[in-house]
Amino acid sequence: MARIHTITLNPAIDRILYLDKYRPEVTNRLKDSTDGLGGKGTHVSINLSQMGVPSEALGIAYGENGRKIIELLSQDLIDVNFQYFPEQESRVNYLIIEDDGKCTCLSSKGIQLSDSDIDSFIEFIAPGIGTGDYLVFSGDASNCPDPYVYNKIMRAFEARDLKVFMDASGDTLKKCIEEHPYLIKPNQDELSYLCGRELHTLEDIKEGIKSLEPYDIPVIAVSLGNEGSLVYADGTFYRVISPEVNVNNTIGCGDCFLAGLIEGIYRGRSIEDTLAHAAAVSSACAESVLSVGFDAGRAEELIKDVEIIKL
């Protein structure tokens, strides 16, 4: 059986600050605050674990924050293999969540990784990656100045015939499609950037996906927030309409949607079933106040409300 490996080159502590309403230029009093795990790859591992799917979380962590990141990530179905350095500190991000569900993220840069840091990371992860395994890149590795950083990792494992799942944006996404990932999950803005023009309507998005044909990507799942998604899978387009939910926090819906897609493919579900599950878990994630995870019972309930139209 293939193993799933998630990669988080810039993990973080997400410090979540709860406010009734955020007001600039005055003292804001916090209602509550809590520390969670940041870095999209780690979120994919946690979402997969909630779906009963094991994964290996790979990454790089530093100092006390890094220790805390590893501790927050450690649970039964997650095999945590982080390169750990006691000196320096992994970053802290700040997430402001207001009573009406509005979220603002203040993202820190994180420790910059050099070419030789990436070479050493590749050497560190290589023994655990088998032929035909799944490799999940989530987030932009904003701490790596080189937009080809994911290409470098993909190329290092070219001979192992991996299934690569890519949730990146900007130039990182633009470059990495040259390596033929198995699946990409851009949102509307990310797809627009990738295609070099604003894509507004569903028809625009479909055209945008078609323009990526030369890159030979079997699955292109374009997530559209509360509008659901438009997914191209093995030659067919699917319009997925998400159920209407009481939104509390949409940060992390993309990671949850991606985890749902990976789960379906890993378990060999049909494409329709995979899309219905992914839409249900990610809309349950929008209902949750947390930025990672979802209520499994609620997701189960929501599946019947997902509409899938073959285009």
> Residue 110: which of ligand ATP, Mg ion, none does it interact with, CB under 5 to 8 A by kind?
none
Q: Does 279 bind ligand ATP (CB under 6 A)?
A: yes
Q: Which is nearer to ligand ATP, 164 or 279 (CB)?
A: 279
The residue nearest Mg ion at its CB is: 254
Token pair 């805390």 is found at 68
Residues 6 or more apart whose Cβ sits within 8 Å of residue 209? 191, 220, 222, 230, 232, 237
* Pairwise CA distance, residues 278 & 223, whole Å: 11
Q: Does 228 bind ligand ATP (CB under 6 A)?
A: yes
Provide the β-strand partners of residue 60.
83
* Pairwise CA distance, residues 89 & 39, whole Å: 15
* Pairwise CA distance, residues 183 & 176, whole Å: 11
Residue 64 Cβ vs Mg ion, minimum distance, rounded to whole Å: 28
Residue 55 Cβ vs Mg ion, minimum distance, rounded to whole Å: 18
Q: Which is nearer to ligand ATP, 44 or 129 (CB)?
A: 44
> Residue 45: which of Mg ion, ligand ATP, none does it interact with, CB under 5 to 8 A by kind?
none
CB atoms within 10 A of CB 54: 15
Q: Which is nearer to ligand ATP, 81 or 108 (CB)?
A: 108
Please select the residue that binds ligand ATP; options are 92, 202, 212, 247, rule is CB under 6 A: 247
The site map against ligand ATP for 196-215 (x = CB under 6 A) is --------------------
Residue 254 Cβ vs Mg ion, minimum distance, rounded to whole Å: 3
> Residue 252: which of ligand ATP, Mg ion, none does it interact with, CB under 5 to 8 A by kind?
ligand ATP
Token pair 């994964």 is found at 55
Q: Does 274 bind ligand ATP (CB under 6 A)?
A: no
The residue nearest ligand ATP at its CB is: 254
* Pairwise CA distance, residues 46 & 40, whole Å: 10
> Residue 229: which of Mg ion, ligand ATP, none does it interact with, CB under 5 to 8 A by kind?
ligand ATP
183-184 β-sheet, strand order: 78-85, 55-62, 4-8, 134-138, 163-167, 183-184, 219-223, 229-233, 236-241, 307-310
91-98 β-sheet, strand order: 32-38, 12-19, 91-98, 103-106
Using the rule CB under 6 A, give the single segment among 7-15, 23-31, 60-68, 220-228 that binds ligand ATP: 220-228
CB crowding 100-135: b at 16 or more within 10 Å, else e: eeebeeeebebbebeeebbeebeeebeeebeeebbb
> Residue 226: which of Mg ion, ligand ATP, none does it interact with, CB under 5 to 8 A by kind?
ligand ATP
Tell me the CA distances in angstroms from 42 to 62, 72, 75, 168, 187, one per residue in order: 15, 10, 12, 14, 19
Q: How many residues bind ligand ATP (CB under 6 A)?
A: 21
> Residue 281: which of Mg ion, ligand ATP, none does it interact with, CB under 5 to 8 A by kind?
none
CB atoms within 10 A of CB 212: 17
Residue 61 Cβ vs ligand ATP, minimum distance, rounded to whole Å: 22
Please select the residue that binds Mg ion; options are 110, 254, 264, 293, rule is CB under 5 A: 254
Q: How many residues bind Mg ion (CB under 5 A)?
A: 1
Which parts of this chain interact with ligand ATP (CB under 6 A)? 187, 223-226, 228-229, 242, 245, 247, 250-255, 257, 279, 282-283, 286
Which parts of this chain interact with Mg ion (CB under 5 A)? 254
